[in-house]
Amino acid sequence: MTKVLLIEDDDLVRATLREMLEDIGCTVLEAEDGSKGIALLAVEGPALVITDILMPNKEGTETIHEIRSANPDLPLIAISGGGVSGDLTFLGFAERLGANRVLQKPINFHELEACVNALLPTLVNSSLSSAAG
């Protein structure tokens, strides 16, 4: 199964996204902030990273910058609900830092699936093969 690193500080959002990702055939590694995510990335070598932007300790833009410096080709999706202010300009900034895709919370299952499938085409092919076999 394809490993996806999910970095999200909100427990409920993280659990919901984990279920969505598992439904499309991913194995999900979880971290509640950028520091823990970077540590997991180094050990686990996931095929894709999904990171929230507004988090404690190490926020998403810093996390994206660090990931891009060490792993320029690793597919990355940035997510945000804009925090208390609802400011979504962080998503544009995340794209400029190197996020391949951005999603606004609350995240729609089909949008997430489309992003993952676009970034990990082998996941689509292996899911189709498993369904046919």
Distance (Å, whole) CA 122 – CA 70: 23
68 vs 31: CA distance, rounded Å? 18
Longest dimension (CA), the chain: 48
Give the phi and the psi of residue 30 in degrees, each rounded to 5: -120, 140
Q: Would you state the pLDDT for residue 129?
A: 43
pTM above 0.85, yes or no: yes
Which pLDDT value is given to residue 102? Answer: 95
- Domain range 12-126, CATH class: alpha beta
- 84 has a pLDDT exceeding 60: no
Query: What's the mean per-residue pLDDT of the chain?
Result: 89
Q: How do residues 25-72 score in pLDDT, each as one tens digit?
A: 999 999 999 999 999 999 999 999 999 999 999 999 999 999 999 999
Where in the chain are the domains?
12-126
pLDDT band at 81 (very low <50, low <70, confident <90, very high): confident
Q: What are phi and psi of 57, to 5 degrees?
A: 65, -75
Q: How far apart are CA 106 and CA 69, in angstroms?
A: 29
pLDDT for res 85: 58
